[in-house]
Amino acid sequence: MKKKLLKLFNIFLLIFIFFVIFELFCNYFFSKLHPDFADAIKNKMHFGLLPYKKIIPFSQKLEFEFTKNKEKIYPAKNAKKGAVAIVGCSCTEGIGLSYEQTFAANINKLTGRKVYSRAKSWRGLPYVYYQVDKKLIPYDTQYIIYVFIFNHLQNLYSYYDLWDNIIMLHYYEKNGNVIQNNPKMLFPYSLYSYKLLMDYITYLNFKKELTDFKLYSFLITKLVEKLKENYPGTKLIVLQIQVEEDFPVTFPKILENKLKSMGVTVLNAEQLTGDKYYLPKNKLTDEKIHPNADVWTALTPKIIQATGL
Give the neighbor-by-neighbor strand order of the sheet with 141-148: 72-74, 115-117, 83-87, 141-148, 235-240, 265-268
Residues 6+ apart with CB under 8 A from 22: 192, 193
User: Do 144 and 109 reside in the same domain of the chain?
Assistant: yes
Residue 92: name the closest of 106, 81, 79 by CA: 106
- Whether 58 maps to a domain, the answer reads no
Q: Check: CB of residue 158 under 8 Å from CB of residue 250.
A: no
pLDDT exceeds cutoff 70 at 299: yes
User: Do 127 and 207 reside in the same domain of the chain?
Assistant: yes
- Whether 48 maps to a domain, the answer reads no
- Whether 199 maps to a domain, the answer reads yes
- Whether 179 maps to a domain, the answer reads yes
User: Do 202 and 142 reside in the same domain of the chain?
Assistant: yes
Q: pLDDT (tens digit, 9 = 90+) per residue, 225-281?
A: 999 999 999 999 999 999 988 888 899 999 999 999 999 999 999 999 999 999 989
Q: Distance between CA atoms of 89 and 151, rounded to whole angstroms? A: 9
The DSSP letter of residue 82 is P
- Whether 49 maps to a domain, the answer reads no
Q: Distance between CA atoms of 239 and 284, rounded to whole angstroms? A: 20
CA 303 to chain centre: 22
pTM confidence score: 0.81
Separation in Å, CA 40 to CA 191, 195, 199: 15, 17, 21
pLDDT exceeds cutoff 70 at 183: no
Q: pLDDT (tens digit, 9 = 90+) per residue, 37-91?
A: 444 444 433 333 333 333 333 444 444 455 444 578 889 988 889 999 999 998 9
Domain that holds residue 155: 68-307
User: Do 9 and 98 reside in the same domain of the chain?
Assistant: no
